[in-house]
């Protein structure tokens, strides 16, 4: 199967490319790095010539208006039109769990526009809404001064490892178009502030963290389950503690600490000095 992954050099796109290549598909990563510009359209028709499946894993370089809205409107419109001209048999668009409920955020308003464009397009398509990746937790750490208290939401999250997400998106891409939304998440639910705090410890960031229900997430307030999937989601298998341990230097001892949602999970203590 001939497949193009838009944004195929990024965190998620590169993993989709790796998975599809390992399965023996004729897959190509497309981005500005190799001359394909979905915003301006340069190189797009050439990249899609003879392609059966397109996975859109591209993302905006700036998350604020007006740039983020302009990116998703222009890029998605041009890409869908190019897919239609090329006779693409399956378009897979990557979005985010919770998008409809986060419209106070410029980024998620733009993602909602992208989703609407995909639904209206005359193409066989599948929309994949994924939860936040473990790898993105560091981006939620505000750049405030040392020892200043960080306020983060206690809302539930069910994040997924980027490797698992790449594998599940590849699975969707090689299946027949579903014509509806598929959700992807990790295997466990946690509290957002707790996961970010562990990533901070890993990076030897000792700023205190407070669970604050009024804390914003990309400009929007979170309800308790906004960032969790609905029943029937495709689930990865990597637990957060195992992912975190794989990023720790050396072999550190493990201890059992209480899970934020009430279970006991195995954790690796992170040096704070």
Q: What is the CATH number of the domain that holds 76?
A: 3.40.50.720
**pLDDT tens-place string over residues 146-172:** 678 889 999 999 999 999 999 999 999
In the block, residue with structure tokens 């999250």: 157
- pLDDT at residue 267 tops 90: no
Residue 53 phi/psi, 5° resolution? -130, 135
The C-alpha R_g of the chain, in whole angstroms, comes to 19
Angle at 136 between CA 134 and CA 139, to 5 degrees: 140
User: Is residue 198 assigned to a domain?
Assistant: no
Q: Look at residue 99 in the predicted model and tell me its pLDDT.
A: 97
Task: Give the pair of three-digit tokens for residue 217.
Answer: 């997430």
Quick one: average pLDDT of 82-95?
Answer: 97
Confidence label for 7 from pLDDT (cuts 50, 70 and 90): very high
Residue 202 banded pLDDT, cuts 50, 70, 90: confident
pLDDT at 11: 94
Q: Residue 266 pLDDT more than 70?
A: no
Taking each helix axis as running N to C, give the angle between helix 67-86 and helix 106-120, from 0 to 180 degrees, rounded to the nearest 10.
Answer: 20
Cβ contacts of residue 244 below 8 Å, gap of 6+? 134, 198, 199, 202, 267, 268
User: Would residue 46 count as lying in a domain?
Assistant: yes
In a domain, 211, yes or no: no
Whether 245 is in a domain gets the answer no
Q: What is the mean pLDDT of residues 75-91?
A: 97
Report H helices in 121-239. 162-173, 192-202
Give domain status of residue 214, yes or no. no
**Taking Cα atoms as reference points, which of 221, 223, 216, 271 lies closest to residue 248?**
271
Element (H, E) at 59: none
Q: Which pLDDT band, with edges at 50, 70 and 90, does 260 fall under?
A: very low
Burial per residue of 5-29, b for 16 or more beta-carbon CB atoms within 10 angstroms, e otherwise: bbbbebebbbbbbbbbeeeebebbb
Q: Let me know if residue 204 belongs to a domain.
A: no
Number of domains in the chain: 1
pLDDT per position as a tens digit, 124-136 = 999 999 999 998 8
The parent domain of residue 17 ranges over: 2-134+160-185
Task: Look at residue 94 and tell me if it is in a domain.
Answer: yes
Per-residue model confidence (pLDDT) at position 248: 59
Query: Mean of the per-residue pLDDT values for the chain?
Result: 88
For 47-60, how does the pLDDT look when each residue is reduced to its tens digit (9 = 90+)?
999 999 999 999 99
Q: Is the pLDDT of residue 37 over 80?
A: yes
Are 12 and 169 in contact by the 8 Å Cβ rule? The answer is: yes
* Residue 269 binned pLDDT confidence (cut-offs 50, 70, 90): very low
Say if CB 156 and CB 191 are below 8 A apart. Answer: yes
Mean pLDDT throughout 174-199? Answer: 93
Residue 247 lies in a domain: no
Q: What is the pLDDT of residue 262?
A: 41
């Amino acid at each position: 199967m001939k497949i193009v992954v838009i944004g195929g050099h990024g965190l998620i796109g590169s993993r989709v490319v790796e998975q599809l290549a390992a399965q023996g598909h004729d897959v190509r990563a497309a981005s500005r790095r190799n001359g394909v510009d979905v915003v301006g359209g340069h190189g797009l028709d050439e990249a899609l010539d003879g392609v059966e499946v397109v996975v859109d894993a591209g993302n905006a370089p700036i998350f604020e208006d007006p740039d983020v809205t302009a990116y998703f409107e222009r890029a998605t419109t041009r890409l869908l039109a190019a897919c239609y001209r090329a006779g693409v048999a399956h378009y897979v668009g990557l979005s985010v769990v919770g998008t409809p409920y986060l419209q106070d955020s410029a980024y998620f308003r733009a993602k909602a526009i992208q989703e609407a464009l995909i639904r209206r397009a005359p193409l066989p398509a599948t929309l994949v809404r994924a939860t936040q990746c473990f790898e993105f937790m560091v981006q939620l750490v505000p750049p405030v001064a040392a020892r200043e208290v960080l306020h983060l939401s206690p809302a539930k999250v069910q994040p997924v490892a980027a490797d698992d997400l790449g594998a599940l998106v590849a699975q969707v891409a090689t299946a027949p178009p579903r014509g509806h939304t598929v959700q992807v998440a990790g295997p466990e639910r946690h509290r957002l502030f707790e996961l970010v705090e562990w990533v901070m410890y890993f990076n030897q960031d000792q700023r205190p963290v407070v669970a604050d229900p009024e804390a914003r997430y990309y400009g929007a307030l979170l309800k308790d389950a906004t960032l969790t999937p609905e029943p029937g989601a495709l689930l990865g298998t990597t637990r957060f503690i195992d992912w975190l341990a794989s990023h720790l230097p050396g072999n550190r001892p493990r201890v059992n600490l209480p899970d934020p949602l009430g279970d006991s999970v195995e954790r690796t203590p992170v040096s704070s000095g």
